Structure 1
């Protein structure tokens, strides 16, 4: 039986791109990856890789002729561009079909709001594709708000690798992971959109309340922030101004391979993002049996069952977030129950093979749709 031949047009610097490429190749597809971004993660040797010099925004236009030439040589069954703005622009100008455009998040929620031109560009790119793939239902709805699409939108969530993130937790006699500390934390880039400032403020409120009501718990409370980015100094200053700097560890950026180790150090994982298209980090935490507290932005709330796999709080509400954290800290048995339920939820709904199957089905349906329109 002939292998399905797919070309991915996407940023090779993103771990999500590499996971799609490797996962599709392992599933038996003939995979090619074209990028103007440098390869920064381990790509299977069986995936054919083409990299062009990165010229930023102009690069998406400059590589059009080269991509067109490569596609003529490969003759793939389908082209899959990732990100509606940059690589979506390249794919539209290349003009290859059948073509499915994968939208990721900020390209739909943030980029079109920058100006009329940005909105126009994304709309043109969405209309040029034969079908759309979205990581979440909430982003599919947002995509349809941008422009009325008379074409399929397939839901293709990022899957979680059981071999990497699955963990059974061993709790101490105190009910927490350790006898001498309770660790609340997150693994996220230090960008305003991810609400790390809200986490720090919520933690400070929690700490001050516990200092008055449960001083023995306040004494062992810690906040662990894993991630690098533009807001580091601002966040460090915030922690200092709230008199909790000595309780906060800023670990810095870690490789994706180290994320499971970091999750295993957290009693509670927190994501108070201001915008999020899909909660892949929440699912990684869940498979690691780590309970979560998340803001009610659509992409996060979509992957959390409130009071069953985690707690959902109102966005920007630091008092509600601190109350949720308090509820967990004061009830270690709830931490354990939510963590176990979260792991079960991911195992049943979001493992990587399921996501790969959904993407392959989207490819085949798009190919069939294109062929039916040609005859």
Structure 2
């Protein structure tokens, strides 16, 4: 198949989809606006990259002519926009078919409700697509509300993990207990509640004879909230416990996860519609404690494959951290249940094959 993706060059999900589709023998082209150039995570040499002249946000309108010329030259079998907002607009304006929109989260949970104009844009974009794909059932239900369609008619295409790369490994671990998070440092991901949970754990839950226990909270990721979070750590006098590690390339994530004894998913908004980092931790048999946002509920099977606490409830999170610290057998047992869940639902190779099947069905249906 000849596949044209409209997606950010900086997004690890764009990289993963493009690379694996190419490795499966498809011819893959990816178009991105000029202020979203590939950076840390690399595309394979066999993926054809096309930089569109104008940057976002106006580029989603101004790049239509250039994109139409690219489409004319490569004649793709299918066009797939990643995100219903920006690239969904650009894809719609080409008028090309077969056309699939992949929704991501903020584009259907947050963006439409910022203004009436945004709502009109999203509805027009979604209705223009021949089909829609969502990473989770929860987000499919949210998307269906926007255009009055059945959630069952939206394809489910999870961001699975490479189960050979993401697995339990023997590594030189730090002494004591290592707790970790891997997420962009922005308010919707609730990292501050992870920090507050660690503070509550240290000051309210640890017994006197446990005060000398070595505990580290490693936070991987960058974002606009970093300076505020660093100040919070200073205010709470947690500098010896909390470490900000910065952004991590995807190929180094398995090594980092295998340093963790416990993983925290702290998101506070339902636009956290899947939670790839949580799935990656589960694949590495790291017990996860997550908040009750829609995407996490689905991933951990409502608490059967992981521990779930109310969003923003850092005391509840701290109590579950303490429970896992005290019970190493429970950590091992939970990790194995999580791994089985990933093998069943989130094997990346299977997920990409499912996407290829969707493309094939769409092409056949449109050509009839």
TM value normalised by structure 2 = 0.94
**Residues 185, 270 of structure 1: 8 Å contact kept:** yes
How far did 1:214 drift? 5.2
Q: In 2, distance between residues paired with 1:129 and 1:217?
A: 57
Q: In 2, distance between residues paired with 1:346 and 1:56?
A: 35
Partner of 2:185: 190
Partner of 2:196: 201
User: Residue deviations 1:166-206, cap 9 Å, x none?
Assistant: 224579xxxxx65x311111011111111001101111111
Change (3 A) 1:44 1:170: closer
Which range is displaced more, 6-15 or 87-96? 6-15
Which range is displaced more, 48-57 or 196-205? 48-57
Partner of 1:91: 91
**Residues 103, 135 of structure 2: 8 Å contact kept:** yes
Matched, 1:125 2:125: yes
How far did 1:49 drift? 1.7
Which range is displaced more, 254-263 or 267-276? 254-263
Q: In 1, distance between residues paired with 2:157 and 2:229?
A: 34
How far did 1:39 drift? 1.7
User: Residue deviations 1:233-272, cap 9 Å, x none?
Assistant: 2111212222323211111122222211211111100011
Change (3 A) 1:306 1:78: closer
Partner of 1:26: 23
Partner of 2:103: 103
Q: In 2, distance between residues paired with 1:252 and 1:215?
A: 33
Partner of 1:348: 344
Partner of 1:174: none
Matched, 1:166 2:167: yes
**Residues 205, 319 of structure 2: 8 Å contact kept:** no
User: Residue deviations 1:337-358, cap 9 Å, x none?
Assistant: 1112212221222111111111
SS at match of 2:168: coil
Matched, 1:255 2:254: no
Partner of 2:261: 267
Q: In 2, distance between residues paired with 1:145 and 1:18?
A: 30
TM value normalised by structure 1 = 0.92
Following TM superposition, the consecutive aligned residue runs of length 4 or more in structure 1 with deviations greater than 4 angstroms are none
Unaligned runs of 5+ in 2: none
Q: In 1, distance between residues paired with 2:4 and 2:253?
A: 29
Q: In 1, distance between residues paired with 2:323 and 2:171?
A: 21
RMSD of aligned residue pairs (Cα, Å): 1.8
Q: In 2, distance between residues paired with 1:306 and 1:56?
A: 37
**Residues 171, 258 of structure 2: 8 Å contact kept:** no
Q: In 2, distance between residues paired with 1:215 and 1:240?
A: 25
How far did 1:54 drift? 4.5
SS at match of 2:240: helix
SS at match of 2:180: strand
SS at match of 2:273: coil
